[in-house]
Amino acid sequence: GPIGVAQMAGEVAERGIMSLLNFVAFLSINLGIMNLLPIPALDGGHLIVLSIEAIRGKPLSSKVMGAIQMVGFAIILAITAIATFLDLTK
Q: Is the pLDDT of residue 68 over 90?
A: yes
pLDDT at 42: 92
Of 90, 87, 89, residue with least CA distance to 6? 87
Residue range 19-48, pLDDT digits in tens: 999 999 999 999 999 999 999 989 999 999
Instruction: Write phi, then psi, for 48 (nearest 5 degrees).
Output: -65, -45
Residues with Cβ within 8 Å of 49's Cβ and at least 6 positions away in sequence, in order, are: 40, 60, 65, 68
**Cα–chain center distance at 26:** 14
